Each structure stands twice: as structure tokens, then as C-alpha cells.
Amino acid sequence: MIKFFRKIRQKLLSENKFSKYLTYAIGEIVLVVIGILIALSINNWNIEKQERKTEKNNLIALQREFIQNKQILNEVIERNTLNIEAAKKMIESFKSGVSDTISEKTIAYNTYQTLGNEINFTPNTGVLSEIMSSGNLRLIQNQELKHKLAAFGSWIGKIKQQEEEVLTNRQNNLNYIINYGNFKSLYNSLGIDMNWETTLDSVNNRALVNSIGQLNRIILFQQSSYVTTRDYYLPLKEEIEKILELIGSELDNE
């Protein structure tokens, strides 16, 4: 094709038909430019097609990941709710007339229910982290969804900070039991066999429901747990649900 055009140009020049040559040359340039534009358009179309395919695959993976995270968060909220309710019962053990008659078994049960589980929301973020690190977040066309995904890490950071406060209050309660309670008696009351004798078997756990310091510690634990659910877990659950709604909408439009 190039040789064909060259021969035409040479023939026009040899016949001194400069004006025709110039017109032909311009036409040839236009054809070349059009060819380049068509090639670029096809290339851009292929790139756009590949990017949309990548976006769809990423959205499907994100949908799966955030469904799992919602399930994990629901389980954490449920466990934290149990801790709050158990702490309420533990606080009621300090009431006048109750603390003097409460049994070792009840003290052990309330203590275990309140402090037995450490609350920790650990979401799956493998897909989101990969999308963020690879720069593929730019491929998501929905701007609201893109912003919410970019901000998800800050949500987790705030929750971790709040969970540290709950963990500190929980540990303060455990430290008091270590110093003034009898774990052996607690375990026996819970059905965990520790029937071997010690010289300290006479020490009971009555001190756990007769100390203003311990009452304050339990109240702080309960309130920090309650705030964690109200101000952190539930708003995050709404955020996850919104992200899933936006992802679903984008996939439906594919």
C-alpha cells in the first residue's frame, strides 16, 4: 500500500502536476490521520471494555467481602449485647440485700458472662486492600461508592480505638478478680473440675460484689461496651449496608 502511494506521488511529480500532487499529499495525510484516530478509538474501546470488566469483577468480589463483614459485625454486636446484659446482672448483685445472700455459683456465672468474651471486630479487607493498592479504585464509576470504600479504613481505625477502651475496662475487672477473688472457686462453680485442695479454699468471691471500686469498674465496662455498639458498630453496619446497596445497584446496571 505504501509503495502504491509512493508511485502515484512520483508520477504526479514527474508530470509537473504540482497542484494535483499537493492535493493528493494532503488527502494522504488526512487518510493517515483518520487511520490513526480509528486505531486509537479501537484501542481506547478495548481499554474501556477491559476496565469495565475489571470493575465488574472487583464489585462482585467486594460484594462478597462486605456480605461477610456484615455477618461478622452482626455476630460481634450480638456478643457485645450479651456482655452488656451480663454486666447489668453483675451490677444488680451489688444491691442491698443481694450482695449478702448471692451464691458463689451466681457470682461465677455473672462474672464469666460479663468478662468471658473479648469483643473484637476484625473485618475481611483483602479485596478492598488489593483494589486500593493497585489503583483500581479509580475504575469504580459510582463516586459515592468510591468515597465510601476509600473511607472504610478510617471506620475500622476508630472502632479499634474504641475497642481498646473496652478492653482496658475489661482487663481492669479481671485484675481485681486476680488480686481479690478466687479463680479456683469460680471455675469449680462453673463446672470446671478443680477439686484439689489448697490452704486458700476458704477464700470466697464475696469481695467481688462488696467493693465500690469493682462496682465502678463494671459500670465503666458496661457503658463503654454500650457506647461501642451505639456509636460505632451500628453506624458501621449502616455504612456496610449502604455500600452493599450501591454495589448491587451498579451490578444491576451492567
Query: Hey, what's the cell of 96?
Result: 442491698
Domain boundaries, the chain: 2-252
What is the pLDDT confidence band of residue 26, given thresholds at 50, 70 and 90?
low
pLDDT confidence of residue 131: 92
pLDDT confidence of residue 11: 54
User: Model-level pTM?
Assistant: 0.79
DSSP 66-123: HHHHHHHHHHHHHHHHHHHHHHHHHHHTTSTTTTTT--HHHHHHHHHHHHS-------
Res 47 pLDDT > 70: no
DSSP state of 198: -
Instruction: Count CB neighbours of 196 within 10 A.
Output: 7
Q: What is the mean pLDDT of residues 82-101?
A: 86
pLDDT confidence of residue 97: 76
Q: What is the mean pLDDT of residues 143-167?
A: 95
Distances from the Cα of 169 to the Cα of 52, 86, 157, 160, 164, angstroms: 49, 15, 19, 14, 9
pLDDT confidence of residue 95: 84
Mean pLDDT of the residues in the chain: 83
Q: What percent of the chain has pLDDT over 70?
A: 78
DSSP 3-state percent helix, strand, coil across the chain (nearest 5):
80, 0, 20
**Cα(55)–Cα(137) distance, rounded to whole angstroms?**
9
DSSP SS3 for 137:
helix
pLDDT confidence of residue 147: 95
Distances from the Cα of 79 to the Cα of 64, 84, 120, 121, 162, angstroms: 23, 9, 10, 11, 16
pLDDT tens digits, 174-223: 999 888 877 777 777 777 776 766 665 666 777 788 888 889 999 999 99
DSSP 143-193: HHHHHHHHHHHHHHHHHHHHHHHHHHHHHHHHHHHHHHS-HHHHHHHTT--
pLDDT tens digits, 67-78: 999 999 999 999
Res 21 pLDDT > 50: no
Give the count of alpha carbons within 13 A of 90, CB side only: 31
DSSP SS3 for 196:
coil
Res 233 pLDDT > 90: yes
Give residues with Cβ within 8 angstroms of 238, minimum separation 6.
Answer: none
pLDDT confidence of residue 229: 97
